[in-house]
Amino acid sequence: MKPQGDSVAILTHFGRASGKAYRVKIWWVEIDGELWIGSLDATRGWVRNVRATGRAEIDRGRGAERVTCEPVTSPAEIARFRAAVKRKYPITSRLLALFFERESCAFRARPGERGSRA
């Protein structure tokens, strides 16, 4: 699985109970210089794992970065994330929202501690 330039990143997330590493392709945006990730469906496995562990690795084509993931809870901030996604992925985001949107979620992904596993 490879990242696709500035479009798609590879997220490595860790199982809530097992700690096992899993990989998934995700969209990402930068808002005010910070990396944000999220989903149109807050029940997805990677979302539940990141919520539980607070950590991940993200590869945006420049090598994996360890990050700590802070859930965004403010509806206004989630709307801000969704607007950024719509600007970056104008056609695909709207099409997917028509068919797959449930409860949206977002995370601020900040650089993780060096020397420790995400």
Low-confidence ranges of the chain (pLDDT < 50): 115-116, 118
**CA–CA separation, 74 and 67 (whole Å):** 21
What pTM does this model have?
0.86
Domain boundaries, the chain: 8-111
Torsion angles phi and psi, residue 50, rounded to 5: -65, -40
CATH number of 8-111: 2.30.110.10
CB 58 within 8 A of CB 9: yes
Nearest to 31 by CA among 108, 112, 111: 108
Q: What pLDDT is stored for residue 66 in this prediction?
A: 97
